[in-house]
Amino acid sequence: MADDSDFILDGDTAEDPSNEGETHAIAVPEEAAGDRLDRFLAGSLPDFTRTRLQALIRDGRAVNAAGTVSEPSYRVKPGETWTLRIPTPIAAEPEPQPIPLNIIYEDEGLIVVDKPAGMVVHPAPGNLDGTLVNALLHHCGDSLKGIGGVARPGIVHRIDKDTSGLLVVAKTETVHHNLATRFASHDIDRHYRAVIYGRPNALEGRIEGNIGRNPRDRKCMAVRPGNQGKPAVTHYRVLSSAARGAALVDCRLETGRTHQIRVHMAHIGHPLIGDHVYGRGTKARRVALGNKAEAAASFPRQALHAAILGFVHPETGEQLRFEAPPPPDFNGLLSDLGLLKE
């Protein structure tokens, strides 16, 4: 799932890694030595297509005694036992629900919304309703159903549940395809505001590092070595700082991988305040905040806001650019940490 956003192409699964569903355990016989993992599993599980199995492998659902393998091209070895976890399917068609939306822009082809923190973008195990999709179906009516797929109608990209900010949603198949292609080719302008522990030595810079499933914890992402994972690039710029204890940064996504900003900032030693997944070891960092440490410790979510979204309108060719100010809780944290510019 794309944040800090990740784009969605037709057929993407966006499965919840905590949803285990059914499990298959398969031992590798001598005659299968050297087979690709996806080919071996396809031969052992005829009810699944190879494409489906490749997606499951990349999602970190194939595990052997050494850990998780996310490359379908991995060559299996005799004596290995592979465990493949198949997620439980969720309801194919979400129901409309009368949930208020903060609509920034809307026309016949698309809608731009400012999503509040705490709202999930589309139904998934554990969050089957109360999502942005449920609200959009109520707002748009039957016209949105099936656009880009029945499970996530209109959704082109995602941001995390606890991230606030801008999302564009397609209202026609043509617009959905065009926007998905633009996201895939990185032809979308996306800027986030993040509050981080510490202040980078370089006040602006480029973070590059492939992102993939963490082999030690498949529910998390990590910067992966070599050719593992998917290429990811984040550009950051410090906007304000409180000595060296905390900083407000602008992060521009060149790519859009799952948890990209959170993973990249933690990777360079500056995790987001409130990020309980990638912010391990932040207790010592709070010391530098002095009497402001409690404000950081008590912030209940990752301090991340999708602030700017720009793209060419697929139908009119007009260059669109939208900005959404951070919500009150985010601004309150900035104030408490002395990061608000006068």
User: What is the number of other CB atoms lying within 10 angstroms of the CB of residue 198?
Assistant: 20
Q: Give the position of tokens 């973070």.
A: 207
- CB 230, CB 221: distance < 8 Å: no
Give CA separation, 60 vs 57, 83, 174, in Å: 5, 11, 32
d(CA 148, CA 221): 26
Catalytic residues: 160
- Nearest-angstrom CA–CA distance, 6 and 157: 5
Task: Report in angstroms the alpha-carbon separations of 186 from 37, 55, 236.
Answer: 30, 22, 17
- Buried/exposed code over 53-65 (b: 16+ C-beta within 10 A; e: otherwise): bbbbbbbbbbbbe
Q: How many CB atoms lie within 10 A of CB 231?
A: 12
C-beta atoms surrounding 328 within 10 Å: 8
* Consecutive H or E run containing 79: none
